[in-house]
Structure 1
């Protein structure tokens, strides 16, 4: 019966994805394969305290996440945040919490350059991205939280629409599944990106199918379409891409809810690598407002209480330390490391010193 119910949910998600852009024609045959996947869920012995899923939504600014559609860019009546993101708000209200809401304290990228690869490096290593301040920097030299989970014995997998994100995922490529971008597949059209970019519809299909079939202990999913549409100046496309990301989050929880105890023990985190400049289209060190981001979390390790107040400004470097607590991994003692977001967690956590860094600089954007 679970298989039949899953077919309905995934077909619905396909319909949402197909409405995002004309490029979805290339992905429909792939999505169709998803309905053949049926597997009985079962508990598994993982090398971490409990399973976890981390989802990033590239370039999704806090304004839409908390306030809804921009009144300067859409005709009235505009949709409020709860209408745009029904799944996120249901999860954050009934099953989890959110950080970065207006009047509740900030969470921001450390920078000083507020673009993608430094942001992802900060999220996944839990450290200030001092060695990476462009989208062309080398692969990470510090083990990521994904590497640490793998070393502890967890089954790990990572999927990303943006091909360069692989540089922030692991210090040792080949250890676990990393699927980023088109990977040379000529049948996948890169729109709304270019080059080796892979649309979110295909990335989401691959990640959800893997979640169903393989039940990894730690799963990373990097969605990128909102940033691509924003750089095109296409606000309608940006909002549709955000709605699709929300549908993917909802589908993740639909799958988890059908996994029984294993799904009930899984914690899910959703955040962004950077925000946007006042002009909406761009972001970077020259636009300090584009540092501001947001974080949603839900699961048994998270206290369900909606918008959480943070007395101190939080950073993207705090995401990995929070994941380490949830996963049962050792903390990072580096002076550049973040600290667990204790106000999210059901169990209070000790705090460490907060590190301030140098001034912003301008660079190419993503």
Structure 2
């Protein structure tokens, strides 16, 4: 089923940066699988709300419809637009000429996640099958840096991330699908989640778990273990779209915005994380329009159109980017590394896109 210049300066390779320049000490990355830029920047799509893809249209209009795109998007993504848009940056509003895109030609999940984390749109990564990714990823790279060893972790709903992040080589703890957390000292809540995930309805398949469980694992792990880098990967937006269920696609998008809000509020209340943590939110691919909204892939026009948002102590609060520029997902890996003052490109052993500068270099 798979599945941050005019304001700033793009090529961050021109910058000389060190870890001491950075206020970011921790990072949370969140992906919403297959979440279209159209809903992120326009809110609910009238054509789809009034189509065969939406059941209970009156209820959907009540929850998500308003006269302007600005109002609609705030109804759908209140955290993104009331917090990130005021204190961070959002990229990908094509209505303003600002484009964020995939560099890979395949436009589905495994190639999309490979591009995000390796910075390399590798033509070999052209399947959603459980092949082991030969490319070094930025989470693996960070996990090898002093002070980060054993402090990088991933929780995902989709079961494919152990292969995407190559746990056999990287040694990263990646808890995907219905994998149980094995830490002997895990708190009672984490142990309960190991059991609970097997009891929740498997309405998105026998291998992909509920986004709620992925969120709860991430939240409880942060509380107990204080990781420096956490990746939380949601899946249900893509699942609902593939099913042609626009009502639930919107509902899952709003729910995940709420999960991210709760997590951000929690870390901002924790002295370990408060004002020292960057949050990056994005997707793995786009989707088509009109009747093509259910799908994505190489032959689906618009599936290369993506978006991302970032908020944190090194990100100037410029809000929605309104310049006619293009960024690519292959730039995110080096961007992530440079938030800590690291250079992933020198160590990756393969092509890596140049960073998108989201930092203010200390004088």
TM-score normalized by structure 2?
A: 0.77
Distance across 1 between alignment mates of 2:97 and 2:303: 18
> Of residues 300, 303, 313 in structure 2, which corresponds to 1:290?
303
Shift of 1:171: 5.1
Alpha-carbon deviation of 1:261?
A: 5.5
Q: 8 Å contact 1:183–1:196 — kept in the other structure?
A: no
Which residue matches 2:268? Answer: 257
Is 1:271 paired with 2:279? no
Map of 2:174 onto structure 1: 178
Separation (CA, whole Å) in 2 of partners of 1:128 and 1:117: 11
Q: Secondary structure at the match of 2:302?
A: helix
CA distance, structure 2, for counterparts of residue 173 and residue 244 of structure 1: 34
Could you list the runs of 5+ residues in structure 2 that have no partner in the other structure?
1-22, 50-56, 67-71, 181-196
Partner of 1:72: 47
* Partner Cα distance (1:267, 1:83) in 2: 24
Residues of 1 paired with 2:166 and 2:26: CA distance? 19
Question: Is the deviation greater in 267-276 or in 79-88?
Answer: 79-88
> TM-score if structure 1 supplies the norm length?
0.77
Secondary structure at 1:93's aligned position in 2? Answer: helix
- Offset at 1:49? 5.8
Which of 215, 219, 234 is residue 230 of structure 2 equivalent to? 219
Q: Hey, which bits of structure 1, 4+ residues long, moved more than 4 A?
A: none
Tell me the residue number matched to 2:127.
134
Q: Does the 8 Å contact 2:116/2:331 carry over to 1? A: yes
Ranges in structure 1 where 5+ consecutive residues have no aligned partner? 1-47, 349-366
Quote how far apart the aligned CAs of 1:170 are: 3.6
Counterpart of 1:99 in structure 2 is: 91
> Does the CA contact (< 8 Å) of 1:67 and 1:81 recur in 2?
yes
Q: Quote the Cα distance in structure 2 between the aligned partners of 1:236 and 1:86.
A: 17
Preserved CA contact (<8 Å) 1:138 1:167: yes
Matched positions, count: 299
User: Could you tell me how far apart the structure 2 residues matched to 1:253 and 1:49 are?
Assistant: 15
Query: Partner residue of 1:21?
Result: none
Partners of 1:242 and 1:347 lie apart in 2 by: 34
Shift of residue 345, structure 1, vs aligned partner: 3.0
Question: Equivalent residue of 1:263, what SS?
Answer: coil
**Shift in CA distance, 335/186, structure 1 to aligned 2, threshold 3 Å:** closer
Contact 1:114 1:290 (C-alpha < 8 Å) held by counterparts:
yes
Q: Secondary structure at the match of 1:289?
A: coil
Q: Assess if the C-alpha contact under 8 Å between 2:99 and 2:324 holds in 1.
A: no
Per-residue deviation, 1:312:
3.8
Q: Which whole-Å CA distance do the structure 1 matches of 2:206 and 2:103 have between them?
A: 28
Cα offset, 1:90, TM superposition: 2.2
SS in 1 for 2:233: strand
Aligned counterpart, 1:189: 201
Please state whether the residue corresponding to 2:205 is helix, strand or coil: coil
Could you tell me whether the CA contact under 8 Å between 2:37 and 2:305 is conserved in 1? yes
Counterpart-to-counterpart distance in 2, 1:171 and 1:165: 9
Aligned-CA RMSD value? 2.1
Are 2:164 and 1:168 aligned?
Answer: yes
